[in-house]
Amino acid sequence: MMRQVCSAPGKIILFGEHFVVYNSRAILCAIDKRVEVTAQRRRNNTISIKSNMLSASIRPSTPHMVVDKRTRPFYYIAQSLGMADVEINIRSSLPSGAGLGSSSACCVATAGAVLPLSGMNRSILDVSIEAERTIQPSSSGADCAVCTHGGLIEYAIGTPPRQLDTPIPSDLKLIVANSGVNHNTGEMVARVRHVYKKYPKKFTILSKKADSLTSLAMDSINDIPKLGYLAASNQLLLEKIGISNNTLRQMIRIADRHSYGSKITGSGGGGCIVAITDDTNAHSTLMALSDAGYDSFVARITRTGAST
């Protein structure tokens, strides 16, 4: 085989970001914005990585840790799968640095495209988590799990992702608004680690609360107002671990005037918020956030994970 294409969805973390790194459970869903990766064999003893933002050609003998962080995970996938002659082309409709899973979806789609060419018998999820950890060593793997499997999943480190088996209510509308402030997952994870080290007992209590919210939310998928209430409760925990700021708080105030509840999604510091709505308040929530100047859209949950 000479050429393989794989696409993977972006994601929203509905419950449990950050606490998932400390073994709490999280709920994530895949959304209808995707990345597509084409991997093609070349006979030039080079691993090439191209996207609309970058272009790099790297000798396959280069140790992955000295490769630029923007290309490192993709280079690592090719190199660790023994693919010395490959060109990887990435096309993404996801904003990067916004907490919508751009980096994980790219890792998953790259693993999905390169694996069949390599002939190796490894799972897309394992390879993509390994790749992501070359830039985020403490990554929980939650983002790669949902980008691989699609749908709505419960995730905890060390256990297989659990797909929600009941139908997702058709009138559940997730409104995503982008603060326009780029965030850096590594920095935010480090900030939270600092809080954890300084106040271990308090952090453990917050982590247990986050885990209970996840559990309640998993049982309340059909009760949209309750999901909103639980999201707002999750936001209070995220405020306590220091990942919020005035811009995000302002966005949440606007969203909460119309929606059932909203929260930061992803590592925070910037990036996006998600508001829980249904047919009765989706439009007003979307308009309020857009009118305030935030790029906003209705995210649809997709069942299609990594797909070749």
List residues binding ligand PMV (CB under 6 A). Answer: 17-18, 20-21, 99, 101, 139-140, 142-143, 185, 189, 266-267, 271
CA angle 46, 47, 52 (to 5 degrees): 125
| Helix, strand, coil percent values for the chain (each to nearest 5) | 40, 25, 35
**Residue whose beta carbon is closest to ligand PMV:** 266
Burial class (CB in 10 A: 0-12, 13-18, 19+), 164: middle
Cβ at position 265, least distance to ligand PMV in Å: 8
Whole-number minimum distance, CB 46 to ligand PMV, in Å? 29
- Angle (CA) 248-252-256 rounded to 5° is 175
State how far the Cα of 193 lies from the Cα of 199, in Å rounded to an integer: 10
Residue closer to ligand PMV, measured from CB, 190 or 287: 190
Nearer to ligand PMV among residue 76 and residue 281 (C-beta): 76
Burial class (CB in 10 A: 0-12, 13-18, 19+), 5: middle
User: Smallest distance from the beta carbon of 21 to ligand PMV, in angstroms?
Assistant: 5
Q: How far apart are CA 26 and CA 15, in angstroms?
A: 5
CB atoms within 10 A of CB 120: 13
Closest CB to ligand PMV among residues 118, 234: 234
> 141: closest CA among 127, 120, 121, 122?
127
Closest distance to ligand PMV from the beta carbon of 225 (Å)? 26
Supply 233's token pair. 């409760």
How many beta carbons lie within 10 A of that of residue 54, not counting itself? 12
Nearer to ligand PMV, 261 or 266 (CB): 266
Question: Is 36 or 143 the residue whose CB approaches ligand PMV more closely?
Answer: 143
**Residue in 172, 154, 150, 173 with CA at minimum distance from that of residue 162:** 154
Least separation, in Å, of the C-beta of 1 and ligand PMV? 32
Q: If we measure between CA atoms, which residue out of 29, 99, 109, 51 comes closest to residue 77?
A: 109
> Taking the complex as a whole, how short is the minimal distance between the CB of residue 305 and ligand PMV, in angstroms?
16
Report the nearest approach of ligand PMV to the CB of residue 279 (Å).
28
Please say which residue, 10 or 261, places its beta carbon nearer to ligand PMV. Answer: 10
Comparing CB distances to ligand PMV, the nearer of 264 and 306 is 264
